Amino acid sequence: MISLIVAILLVLLAIYFNEGIRKYSQLLYIGMTLLSILAFWQIEATLFTPIRLGGLGFGIFYVVMLTGALKHKSKLRITLMKVRMEYSILGFIAITPHALYQLLKYINGDIAIPILGIIAYAIMIPLFITSFRVIRKKMTYQNWKTLQRFAYIVYIGLSIHLILNSALPNFAVYIIEFAGYFILKVMYEVKRYQRTKSKQFA
């Protein structure tokens, strides 16, 4: 449930405070990092349940996912694209305590190996590093774009991981979120294919 609330709040923030998010992005990164460190230190505390269960991180990533599936040139897509980089960085930072907590539980023998979660998080690392403009400038656009396509593996792996490891009501929320994204993404790709075809025969 928290992931849906977070996603809605982030969309509203992007609409009304788009410039502020970009202007103060460094402070947001620092703040999220400090929160994540505190959350990992006190991971069992009720206050940090949304971080421990991955809901906060996924809620941020869901907006990043959804942005790429929205209607081409729609006002909302254009607005969210302006802060998509910032949200992806914040999402990685926010989900790190959950990933480390799950890894420690596996090492201690408390859970089975969360293979999808591990794969998704491992792929996130290079995507996170190359999200920063200072790193992106050192890469060719084509190489950067090719690397970023691996994000789709992250989206699928992360979604399935959370669905399989969640109880109601979070289970139902994750199903709805993932189904909504999948439908919108398929519609977007179909329309993009149609636009490409129309240009070829124009």
pLDDT of residue 200: 64
Structure tokens at 150: 């691996």
| Residues 49/3, Cβ–Cβ less than 8 Å | no
Residue by residue, DSSP assigns 9-32 as HHHHHHHHSHHHHHHTHHHHHHHH
For residues 162-173, average pLDDT: 83
- Sorted by where each begins, the domain ranges of the chain are 2-200
Instruction: Give yes or no for residue 123 having a pLDDT over 70.
Output: yes
pLDDT of residue 202: 56
Quote the CA–CA distance of 54 and 48 in Å, as a whole number.
10
Number of C-beta neighbours around residue 56 at 10 A = 27
pLDDT of residue 41: 93
